[in-house]
Amino acid sequence: MKATHPFRWLTLGAVLACCEVLISPSAVQAADWPGWRGRSRDGHAADALPTQLETAPKALWRKPIGHGYSGVVVSGQKLVYLDDSSGQETAHCLDAGTGRELWSQPFAEQYADEFEPGPRCTPLIDGQRIYVQSCFGEFACLSLNDGKKQWGFHFRDYGMFWVKDRSGGPGAANRRGNSGSAAIAGDSIFIQIGSTNGASIAAFDKMSGKLLWKSQDDLTSYASLMTGTLGGRKQAIAVTCEGLLGLDTTTGEALWRTPFKTGANRNVLTPILDGNSVLFASYTTGLRRVSLEADGSRVRATQTWLNPALKINLSTPVLVGRHLYGHGPDKDFVCVDASTGTIQWRQSGFNQYASTVASGSRLLVLNDTGEVILLEASPARYTELGRFQACGKTFSHPAYAHGVLYTRDSRELAAWPLQTSAR
């Protein structure tokens, strides 16, 4: 009898299923929201935003949670958030499609002040590991599978200190705790510790926790780190209490620095990378653009422009094309020409803070009132495409992954499907 090739009996559905198994991991990875401000830490989502918003959409699920300002992160079918529901800063892992809890793991003592208590640092998922950081400087690598601790350390091990007087004195994090997020490039994870004993910023092996290098004596700000290749050098880019700087990712050598001081000895926004330039705003000094170019073994930093009127306090803008969009001064939402610093337009009514997510030519803005607003990303004019109330008052950055928007306030985490193809 003639042999029959086994694939002859596969149905078309089975073949497509096999193909889906082969292609789905990369597709899932692209649409994830694994860390602060998304996959590339720039506020951009892989999934398209809708052309309009329903005024009263139905949530996919809702879940009661504890306090915290930390953002939500998503990898595949897993969602991780931090709160203080156990009386400690605690990591929770959920099924992103149903909200069912898979595990929870306390990892640090609880932080509280006159504002909302709970964790403020957004976690970071990398493969099957998740990195968490507490307000008081407890850093840990946990297994994404079950939450078990893989390695960790405390900032005080490197000379970081805290003070009880929150009204003034040393750096922002010394008084108010940590709010920033670590960054990964290759096999290294970069962490802003804030020690003035030569460990302002340190690099660790992301798998083992081995210290690779430590560098600088700057006090820690609230800002998150960025990594990228600028001026021909791979860099970890940081905003400390002393200014903006870039460190060689392999050695920790300081490649360049743009010093500036702020009134409260704090900086909040994440640096925005644009080619060989860095954009950054401070509430004291305004919005600036710094251009970087190779200069022998170092990098030359030149301030291209400074707009002192754009004193942005808390919310990092997103760069779409040649324009920045985001919450500006005086409770306005602004569009700024990134090449010149010129304000193209401004719109009032955005309260104290707003998080912005971009995809294509549209923006999704979560106001601190809990209202979600869909906008056109156009330098010509402010154009709204709909809005709905998603949660209560919030200062937490949302996640947008696989067509679902995840929002949180101090009581509840909710999933909002914005695409018909969403989970």
Q: Is residue 24 part of a domain?
A: no
Alpha-carbon distance 13 to 418, whole Å?
28
Closest CA to 176 of 246, 265, 97, 87: 265
228 DSSP β-pair partners = 235
Q: For the segment 208-261, what is each residue's pLDDT rounded down to a tens digit?
A: 999 999 999 998 888 999 999 999 999 999 999 889 999 999 999 999 999 987
Alpha-carbon distance 35 to 264, whole Å?
27
Domain of residue 140, CATH code: 2.40.10.480
Q: Is residue 167 part of a domain?
A: no
Closest CA to 157 of 119, 123, 191, 111: 191
Residue in the block written with tokens 């919450």: 327
Stated as kind and residue range, the H or E segment containing 124 is strand 124-126
Alpha-carbon distance 235 to 270, whole Å?
15
Alpha-carbon distance 67 to 84, whole Å?
6
Closest CA to 235 of 220, 223, 246: 246
Alpha-carbon distance 221 to 179, whole Å?
8
So what's the pLDDT on residue 157?
94
Q: Give the chain's domain count.
A: 1
> What is the domain extent for residue 82?
30-58+72-158
Is the pTM higher than 0.85? The answer reads yes
Q: Is residue 408 part of a domain?
A: no
From the centroid of its chain, how far is CA 320? 17
Instruction: Specify the DSSP class assigned to residue 206.
Output: T
- For the CA atoms of the chain, what is the radius of gyration? 22
Q: How do the pLDDT tens digits run along the chain, 423 residues long?
A: 334 333 233 333 333 333 333 334 455 688 999 999 999 999 999 999 999 998 989 999 999 999 999 999 999 999 999 999 888 999 999 999 999 999 999 999 887 777 778 899 999 999 999 999 999 999 999 999 999 999 999 999 998 888 776 666 677 777 777 889 999 999 999 999 988 889 999 999 999 999 999 999 998 888 999 999 999 999 999 999 889 999 999 999 999 999 987 777 778 899 999 999 999 999 889 999 999 999 988 899 999 999 999 999 899 999 999 999 999 998 999 999 999 999 999 999 998 899 999 999 999 999 999 999 999 999 999 999 999 999 999 999 999 999 999 999 999 999 999 975 555
Q: Is residue 298 part of a domain?
A: no
From the centroid of its chain, how far is CA 208? 23
So what's the pLDDT on residue 421?
53
Three-class DSSP labels, 149-197: EEEEEEHHHHCCCCCCCCCCCCCHHHHHCCCCCCEEECCEEEEEEEECC
Q: Is residue 276 part of a domain?
A: no
Q: Is residue 396 part of a domain?
A: no
From the centroid of its chain, how far is CA 226? 10
220's CB contacts (< 8 A; 6+ apart) are 160, 171, 172, 173, 174, 178, 180, 192, 193, 194, 200, 240, 241
Closest CA to 277 of 346, 230, 239, 245: 230
Q: Is residue 120 part of a domain?
A: yes
Q: Is residue 110 part of a domain?
A: yes
